C-alpha cells in the first residue's frame, strides 16, 4: 500500500476545496490566508481591473460578516466591495487587498507605536458606535499599510466570544468592554521591550482590569488617555508623586529648559569674566 505524504494530501485537499468563481467577475490568483473563519484568496476583479481579497466560507457567517463590514465605513476598517454566492452554495465577499506590515512586526519609536495605537482605538470606537464589537482584537488582525494607514481586520465574530489567548477578556459575554481589554493587551505589546514608565503601566492595567466596570468606558477614552501620555500630560490612571511630576514636566519642556539653562550658564560665565 502506498501512502501519500502529508504535504501532498494537503495540496489535494486545498485543490478540492478551491472555490469555483466561474460566472463571476473574479479570477483567483492564489490563496493568501486560511483560518477557522474561512479562506482568503488574492483575486483579479475583471470589471474594474484591480486586485482584491476574496473571503470564502462554508456557511451564512460570510454573508453576515460582509454586511457587518459593509456597515463600517471608516478609514481604519477594511472596506467591502462586493458579496455573493458561488455555484457550490458557499458565500463570499470581496474586500480591499491590504498589503503592508502586521502590527506584531511593526517597529519604530515608542511614540510612533502609540500614535498607531490611537488610530486603532478610533476604528474600534467607530464600530462600537454602530453597535459592533470585534471580539478578537490582536496584533495579527491589524495591518500597517505602505503609506501609514492603520487597518483593523476580521470583524466576523461580533456577539461571539472567540478571542485569542493573551488578548481575550476573562468574562464570557461579548460587549465593548471585551474590546477595551484586548486593546489594553495590544498596548502592552507595543510598550514592551522598553523601560515602561509608571503612567503607561497604569493605563495598561486599567484597560486590562478583570472587572469590566473598572476599565475605560470607551475606546475613545483610552485613546485620549494614551494621547495625554504621548503629549507629556498627566494621565487619569496614575497618581504621580512630586518626583514623577518634575520628571514629566522636564521631559515635556526639556528643549526650552535646556536652552534657558545654557543661557543662564553663559550669563554667569560672562559676569564672572567681567568682574575679574
- Cell 482584491 belongs to 52
Distance, in Å, from the CA atom of 25 to the CA atom of 9, rounded to the nearest integer, reads 30
Q: List phi, psi (to 5°) of 81.
A: -100, -35
The set of catalytic residues is 136
Candidates 167, 159, 173, 137; CA nearest to 61 is 159
Q: What digits encode the pLDDT tens for the residues 197-223?
A: 889 999 999 999 999 999 999 999 999
Q: Which fold has domain 100-239?
A: Transferase(Phosphotransferase); domain 1 (1.10.510)
Sheet with 150-152, strands from edge to edge, namely 100-102, 142-145, 150-152
Instruction: List all residues 6 or more positions away from 273 whose beta carbon is below 8 Å from its beta carbon.
Output: none
Q: With 80 as the cut, is the pLDDT of residue 193 above it?
A: no
Question: What are the residues facing 51 on neighbouring strands?
Answer: 44
Mean of pLDDT values over 117-128: 97
Q: What is the pLDDT of residues 69-89, one digit of tens each?
A: 788 889 999 888 998 888 888
pTM across the whole model: 0.79
DSSP letters for 182-195 = HHHHHHHHHHTTS-
Reported as a single tens digit per residue, the pLDDT across 125-137 is 999 999 999 988 9
Per-residue model confidence (pLDDT) at position 257: 64
Tell me how far the alpha carbon of residue 249 is from its chain's centroid. Answer: 30
The CATH homologous superfamily to which domain 6-96 belongs is: Phosphorylase Kinase; domain 1 (3.30.200.20)
Average of per-residue pLDDT values in the chain: 83
Listed by start position, the domains of the chain span: 6-96, 100-239
**pLDDT tier at 260, thresholds 50, 70, 90:** low
Q: DSSP H helical segments within 1-109, as ranges? A: 6-17, 61-70
Helical residues (DSSP H) of the chain, grouped into ranges = 6-17, 61-70, 110-129, 176-191, 198-207, 219-230, 242-252, 254-274
Amino acid at each position: 500500500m502506498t501512502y501519500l505524504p502529508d504535504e501532498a494530501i494537503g495540496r489535494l485537499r486545498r485543490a478540492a476545496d478551491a472555490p469555483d468563481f466561474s460566472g463571476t467577475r473574479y479570477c483567483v490568483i492564489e490563496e493568501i490566508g486560511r483560518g477557522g473563519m474561512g479562506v482568503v484568496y488574492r483575486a483579479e476583479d475583471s470589471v474594474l481591473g484591480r486586485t482584491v481579497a476574496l473571503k470564502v466560507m462554508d456557511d451564512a457567517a460570510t454573508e453576515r460578516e460582509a454586511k457587518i463590514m459593509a456597515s463600517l465605513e471608516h478609514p481604519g476598517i477594511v472596506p467591502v466591495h462586493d458579496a455573493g454566492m458561488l455555484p457550490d452554495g458557499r458565500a463570499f465577499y470581496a474586500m480591499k487587498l491590504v498589503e503592508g506590515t502586521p502590527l506584531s512586526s511593526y517597529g519604530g519609536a515608542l511614540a510612533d507605536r502609540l500614535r498607531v495605537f490611537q488610530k486603532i482605538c478610533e476604528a474600534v470606537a467607530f464600530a462600537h458606535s454602530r453597535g459592533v464589537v470585534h471580539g478578537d482584537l490582536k496584533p495579527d488582525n491589524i495591518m500597517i499599510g505602505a503609506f501609514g494607514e492603520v487597518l483593523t481586520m476580521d470583524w466576523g465574530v461580533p456577539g461571539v466570544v472567540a478571542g485569542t489567548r493573551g488578548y481575550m477578556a476573562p468574562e464570557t459575554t461579548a460587549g465593548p468592554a471585551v474590546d477595551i481589554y484586548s486593546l489594553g493587551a495590544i498596548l502592552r505589546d507595543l510598550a514592551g521591550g522598553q523601560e515602561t514608565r509608571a503612567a503607561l503601566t497604569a493605563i495598561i492595567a486599567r484597560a486590562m482590569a478583570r472587572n469590566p466596570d473598572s476599565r475605560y468606558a470607551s475606546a475613545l477614552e483610552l485613546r485620549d488617555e494614551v494621547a495625554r501620555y504621548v503629549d507629556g500630560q498627566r494621565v487619569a490612571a496614575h497618581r504621580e508623586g512630586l518626583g514623577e511630576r518634575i520628571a514629566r514636566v522636564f521631559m515635556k519642556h526639556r528643549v526650552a529648559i535646556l536652552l534657558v539653562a545654557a543661557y543662564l550658564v553663559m550669563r554667569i560665565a560672562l559676569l564672572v569674566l567681567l568682574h575679574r
